[in-house]
A and B are shown apart, each in its own frame.
Chain A
Amino acid sequence: MTDSTAEKLSVPPGAPRDQSRPDALFKWLTAACSLVVIVIMAGILFELVRNSGMAFREFGFSFLTTDSWNPILSDFGAASSVYGTLVSTGIAMIIAVPLSIIIAIYFVEVAHPKVSRLIGGAVELLAAIPSIIYGMWGLFVFAALMQTHVQPFLGTHLGALPLFQGPPMGIGMLTAGLILALMVLPFITAVTRDVLMMVPPVLKESAYGVGSTMWETVRFVSLKYGRRGIVGAVFLGFGRALGETMAVTFVIGNSHRISASLFSAGNTIASSLANEFNEASEPIYLSSLFALALVLFGITLAFQTMAHHWVARMQRLEGGDR
């Protein structure tokens, strides 16, 4: 905190014992501990690059653009996995973001404070439920509902779109996206709720005072005030959905084919890794999976760095401490 004064103060003049040595030791110890994260991150990057070298030498840049995935012919490409990762995450965000923001607004602005505290706390707890539980539920409960009701319904009413064609199998890209949406929903809701509760009452009262309705107050005052926090929450949810493994692996169907229909089976990078990593017997197969992992790592890093700079820029543009 007050670094310079504190350091000077820690060696008072005429002290009976020189304390600077144990203190320096302590400082270096904590510094070493904090460097562990940098070593780990560098180690992850190094190991992924090293182990995926064979695949990139073999397939070159086309690894990213071909969608063949054939362990028998030892021909591998990442396109279908990248496509599935982005599409399932996209579905999840399209549904989860508006829904969780609306739910958060409801808790903060409309619901009775007691209800808000009780259910709001419950939602926060739900964000702690392990993702494998969502996967189990998705496979045994939700997939059946999708097969018997949701997919036939979409097929008959929106079947003209290529998105909703094909046999209702229950599992597939759409189901995976919906499960992901449910998984990030409590998370984004909880953070947005916290952000909205931090809006100073004076600001909201001023808006109501000049005759704004509840919706106008939320839209032009609360959401604007908490914009940075909410954007941060959305980014975090996005990052989680991108790399989520268990919730997806159960329900996506694991097929390395790109299909226009959201009903058909697909795969994500994470689900392919979970399913195939322990079975990869050929070195080139294993190396291709490492290359997939490197692609996922690269996507999440690029995405987070972008988010970081974007939020920082918003902060600079808006000025002040908000």
Chain B
Amino acid sequence: MRPRSRAQRRAADAAIRVAMVPAALIGIAVLAWILGEVIARGVGALTPTFFTELPTPPGMEGGGLGNAIVGTLLMTLLAALMGTPVGLLAGVFLAEFGPSSRIATTVRFTTNLLMGTPSIIIGIFVYSVLVLPLGHFSGWAGAVALAILILPVVMRTTEDMLNLVPDELRESGLALGAPRWKVTLGIIFRAARSGLVTGVLLAVARVSGETAPLLFTALNSFYWPGSLSRPTANLTVTIFNYAMSPYSDWQEKAWGASLLITVSVLVVAVLARFVIKDGRERA
């Protein structure tokens, strides 16, 4: 540190303090602007038929994105059902069975790599293992792509949450003669419940807004998702297609869908925080 006069040091401090306020304001204001714009432009599209009807061709009044809402819900639910159990058990392995073993270290590093892999690459991977060989796009492929995105997030949060559980709990359970699996699932999981629920909720919320992994797997469709073996309608790809189209009524629907997705993701994220708070208060 170079010696500086007191005035210089004070001036540097004041300059930083002055620069901070506009920086913070600009950051917050732009983010608020994005939210405001989504609400202002999307609210008009959210009529009752938006939720219940099939899309109409451009220029035709009415219609909705009911099929895309159902499709997104279905695929997200399936992805959660596939990704969560595997992620939870894998997290148990990392936290409970030799956390510093070589295999666990490798798995942990690979999990980080998978978490940092762009979601569009996951989409292409699933395309080449599930869409190319079978010859058609499908809702199943979309759900698998989303499940691959959920898996590493659930693994990491599970490991972190289980590590927070004190060892005394494990030892007391084992001392009573309970087998390891019973101690883990019955005692440790219960102790870490709120954290685990939050982790899963946040992972699922994040994935429900993903577009890139669905572009080449679920594709999109104008019909109700009758079978997941066919291209399946979903909100995010619909937003992409509609926003890029030259039709103003489609663009309005895209804003409506954006608002719906944003609100749902934010609601789940807020809910997840309440779960954590609730758990901490009881603990």
Show the binding face of A for B, using Cβ within 8 Å. Answer: 1-3, 6-7, 9-10, 12, 15, 19, 22-23, 25-27, 29-31, 33-38, 40-41, 43-44, 47-48, 50-51, 99-100, 102-103, 105-107, 110-111, 119, 121-123, 125-126, 128-137, 139-141, 182, 185-186, 189, 213-216, 220, 236, 239, 242-246, 249-250, 270, 273-274, 277-278, 290, 293, 296-297, 300-301, 304-305, 308
Contacts and interface: CB of A to CB of B under 8 A. Distances in A.
Given A6-B174, A213-B12, A103 B118 contact: no
Contact of A214 (B13, B98, B155, B266): B13
B30 A182 contact: yes
A33 B89 contact: yes
Nearest to B270: A125
Contact of B116 (A37, A43, A239): A239
B113 A34 contact: no
Given A137-B38, A189-B27, A35 B107 contact: yes
Contacts of B129: 43, 47
Contacts of B107: 34-35, 37-38
Nearest to B205: A128
A295 to B, nearest CB: 11
Interface of B: 1, 9-10, 12-13, 16-17, 19-21, 23-24, 26-28, 30-31, 33-35, 37-38, 41, 85-87, 89-90, 92-99, 103-104, 106-107, 109-114, 116-122, 124-125, 127-129, 148, 151-152, 155, 167, 170-171, 174-175, 177, 179-181, 184, 202, 205-206, 209-212, 215-216, 219, 236, 239-240, 243-244, 251, 254-255, 258, 261-262, 265-266, 269-270, 273
A278 to B, nearest CB: 6
B23 A103 contact: yes
B118 A277 contact: no
6 contacts: A9-B175, A38-B106, A123-B27, A135-B243, A185-B31, A277-B215
A211 B109 CA distance: 43
B188 to A, nearest CB: 10
Nearest to A50: B128
A301 B113 contact: yes
Contacts of B269: 125, 128
Nearest to A137: B34
Contacts of B116: 236, 239, 243, 300, 304
A47 to B, nearest CB: 5
Contacts of B113: 41, 301, 304-305
Chain B interface main SS type: helix
Contacts of A140: 37, 41, 243, 251
Contacts of A277: 124, 127, 215-216
Nearest to B165: A1
Contact of B216 (A34, A278, A296, A308): A278
A129 B239 CA distance: 14
A132 B152 contact: no
Contacts of A293: 120-121, 124
A114 to B, nearest CB: 15
A68 to B, nearest CB: 22
A265 to B, nearest CB: 15
Return the 6 tightest CB-CB contacts between A and B, nearest first. A243-B118, A130-B209, A30-B93, A26-B181, A34-B90, A213-B13
Contact of B37 (A33, A126, A141): A141
Contact of B31 (A40, A132, A186): A186
A24 to B, nearest CB: 9
A37 B115 CA distance: 10
Contact of B89 (A29, A48, A278): A29
A44 B125 CA distance: 6
B38 A136 contact: yes
Contacts of A134: 34
Given A23-B179, A102-B19, A102-B20, A30 B212 contact: no
Contacts of A2: 167, 170-171
A182 B34 CA distance: 10
A136 B37 CA distance: 10
A164 B22 CA distance: 25
Given A31-B97, A37-B110, A245-B119, 9 more contacts: A30-B90, A33-B85, A38-B110, A47-B125, A110-B17, A135-B243, A137-B38, A215-B16, A308-B109
